[in-house]
Each structure stands twice: as structure tokens, then as C-alpha cells.
């Protein structure tokens, strides 16, 4: 099974303010080989828009038929 680098998990949820730094974190994950999993979720904390994006490592899944 092909695993992510540096012991990273196969499923990650990236969260943070909707800004350039968050977009870079998602872009970095995609450059490592992760794929987007669904669309982003957005909420407002009274001051900032907070976004969450799930990413998964492609490949064979444990328990897949």
C-alpha cells in the first residue's frame, strides 16, 4: 500500500481562516499527492470566515472490496 510521506495520515482535515496561508496549506497537500475529498465547509466565527477542507491519500483502501 502506497502511504503518505513522513508518517502523515491518509485522511486529513485542514482548517483555518479563509486566507492565502490556508490556500497554500491545501496547495501543499495537493502537491504532496493528496486529493480533495468533497467540497470545503465554511463558517463564520463572528470575525473571520473559517474554512475546512478534507484531503485523502489516493490508493488502495483498507477493507476495500
Q: Give the tens place of pLDDT for each residue, 4-60.
A: 999 999 999 999 999 999 999 999 999 999 999 999 999 999 999 999 999 999 986
9-15: long-range pairs with CB below 8 Å, 24+:
9/57, 10/56, 10/57, 10/59, 11/37, 11/54, 11/55, 11/56, 11/57, 12/54, 12/55, 12/56, 13/52, 13/53, 13/54, 13/55, 14/52, 14/53, 14/54, 14/55, 15/50, 15/51, 15/52, 15/53
The yes-or-no verdict on residue 65 having pLDDT over 60 is no
Q: Where does the pLDDT of residue 1 fall: very low under 50, low under 70, confident under 90, or very high at 90 and above?
A: low
pLDDT value of position 59: 81
Amino acid at each position: 500500500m502506497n502511504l503518505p510521506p513522513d508518517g502523515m495520515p491518509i485522511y486529513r482535515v485542514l482548517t483555518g481562516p479563509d486566507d492565502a496561508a490556508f490556500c497554500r496549506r491545501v496547495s501543499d497537500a495537493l502537491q504532496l499527492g493528496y486529493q480533495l475529498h468533497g467540497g470545503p465547509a465554511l463558517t463564520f466565527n463572528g470575525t473571520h470566515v473559517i474554512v475546512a477542507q478534507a484531503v485523502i491519500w489516493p490508493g488502495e483502501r483498507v477493507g476495500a472490496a
